[in-house]
Structure 1
Amino acid sequence: MTPLLEWVRNRPDGDLQSGRTTEVLKIVAERLDAFGPDWTTSVDGSRLTGTGSWVVALRDNHTEHDEHLDLDFVLNVDRPAETTISDCVTGYGATARDAWQQGVGVWATLTAAAVVELMRPANEFADHYHGNDPGGFLGWHTISAGFVGFGRGEPEALARWATDNPLIPQLSSVVSGGLDRGHLNGVKILFGGVAGAEVAEVRINGREHPESGRALLALPWPRPAEPVFARTFALLVHPETDACGQS
């Protein structure tokens, strides 16, 4: 048993959740610090604070699995309703902390990278797409860091397929029906699994969008013999109004 799990087991329920939050946010802080000095962080109670007006908070777990993390990246604490980028991720590992580290790693590689690129544009951690670009979301300026693959067998197989067959443009028309903000819409796409037990999930601003999930399931992505998954996160920054992609 790790020191963390031993500490958690011996705490009352209220302290258990507090300890989980603190430990997860410490892992998040380590990953954000890797983006550079502008992203130096500190854990402040139930949230992670950094330079400027942004915070990261761990929301209540909407599942029964301790490995699942619901994370909010709030760009401006004075305007949370307009600037909160919500996402969730399930980690995998031999211990709870291993799972949290793996899950936060995926979140940082995709979601946090898109937010960092939005706030400090450098084309270093994520890419910008106009609405008419081959990999873009129709009608929107989008930031995305690509796909991450994980699972057994060849975990990069689906990620390669999604890169070679741009997935976001194929889903943009149905996803558009679920957008509920005029800017800063976060779209999580997760798919994979073996034939007959596929997973196809699309979440818009943290909420599942079943119509987009069904459209994703209907696409001809490979169904591997072993459980393999691919994940991406697209940050739809603002609509673009003309054919040249300029707003």
Structure 2
Amino acid sequence: MWANLHNVTVCAMAWGSWWRGRSGTGPGAPGGSAERPSAQAVLGAVADELSALHGEQWRVEGEEVRGPGALAVRLGEPREDDPDRLELVFLADRDRPETAVPDQLAGADGGFGVGGFGVGGGTGGGGAGGGDQDPLRRGVEVWASTAGAALIELVAHNGRFAGHLDPTDPDGLPGWHAIHGGVVGWGTGKRFHDVQDWLVRNPVLPALAPALGGDLGRDQLVGVQVCFGGGAGRRTAEVRVHGEVHAAASAALAALDWPRVTEGDAYARTFVLLVRRAGARPPAEVGLRAAGRK
């Protein structure tokens, strides 16, 4: 069963300058299922969570969720190597595929713990909790609080949804303008928050920078998902770059001194959008069109 879920959102121009706490409880509908959720169920949950987070209307239209202006979210195509995983693709401009940022959906099914909230790991595997009543809603809520918040901030650009890191910020990734989404923690037992608390105090981008290296495949709009934690006999540490597991960065994350909880479980997840390299031109007109301005 779900025990605890808590979210902290970075809301300043640098990590840790100030924080806005946001409860992450989500609706609890009965009847969790081991079957893959339907596309409409996933999109409906995405529309609900983004509307609540953004304060603007997001609605399902056909095979995508549309927000203000040209913002959209689509389901990613099933992967041959892992067909049960669910992927969400955020588009800052639905007519420009180069603005797409994919991210794995945690807490739904297949690889993330069917019927409960778990995580898939680049260096191991484990689950937190033991049977949520509505794992899909929980997973979408975690995605919205981390990746969704950073991606909305890309077009809002006002510090309300996520924090900004410049290329020289000691808490960022050297050479990159970045937007840091929320830090979500979950687990069971008295120490369920330990890993999240550690992540809040210890920004991981600088520690992962050597492993990430200089070539991330593109020079703008690169999503970096970080998810790690565990319990007795279980550990996971995974870094995904633009939707793909980054083995070297995952190993570097596993080697950091985050708390190893032995009673209960403790996990944390965050998401950083690398907007562009220093000196590169910003993604053209993304913010203006997405906000519905000429």
TM-score with structure 1 length normalisation? 0.82
- Contact 1:186 1:236 (8 Å CA) reproduced: yes
In 1: Cα distance, 2:228 partner to 2:54 partner? 31
- Which residue of structure 2 lines up, in the alignment, with residue 43 of structure 1? 60
In 1: Cα distance, 2:137 partner to 2:187 partner? 16
Match of 1:193 among 230, 245, 250: 230
Unaligned runs of 5+ in 1: 10-15, 242-247
- Contact 1:195 1:224 (8 Å CA) reproduced: yes
Query: Structure 1 residues 222, 35: CA separation in 2 closer, same or farther (over 3 Å shift)?
Result: closer
Match runs of 1:151-230 below 5 Å: 151-153=187-189, 154-177=191-214, 179-194=216-231, 197-225=234-262, 226-230=264-268
CA offsets, 1:171-190, max 9 Å, x none?
A: 02222345111101000011
TM-score with structure 2 length normalisation? 0.70
In 2: Cα distance, 1:85 partner to 1:134 partner? 25
Q: Which amino acid aligns with 2:259?
A: P
SS in 2 for 1:90: coil
* Percentage of identical aligned residues: 38
Match of 2:271 among 233, 237, 244: 233
Deviation of 1:45 (Å) = 2.2
Q: Which amino acid aligns with 2:52?
A: A
In 1: Cα distance, 2:258 partner to 2:62 partner? 43
Matched, 1:137 2:173: yes
In 2: Cα distance, 1:36 partner to 1:204 partner? 25
Structure 1 segments of 4+ aligned residues over 3 angstroms from their partners:
2-5, 60-65
- Contact 1:178 1:204 (8 Å CA) reproduced: no
Query: Structure 1 residues 227, 55: CA separation in 2 closer, same or farther (over 3 Å shift)?
Result: same
Unaligned runs of 5+ in 2: 1-28, 108-116, 118-130, 280-294
Query: Structure 1 residues 44, 165: CA separation in 2 closer, same or farther (over 3 Å shift)?
Result: same
- Which residue of structure 2 lines up, in the alignment, with residue 83 of structure 1? 99
Match of 1:20 among 38, 43, 59: 38
| Alignment coverage as a number of residue pairs | 225
CA offsets, 1:128-155, max 9 Å, x none?
A: 0112223211111110124211111222
Q: Which amino acid aligns with 1:74?
A: L
- Which residue of structure 1 lines up, in the alignment, with residue 87 of structure 2? 70
- Select the structure that is richer in helix: 1
- Which residue of structure 1 lines up, in the alignment, with residue 126 of structure 2? none
Query: Structure 1 residues 137, 47: CA separation in 2 closer, same or farther (over 3 Å shift)?
Result: same
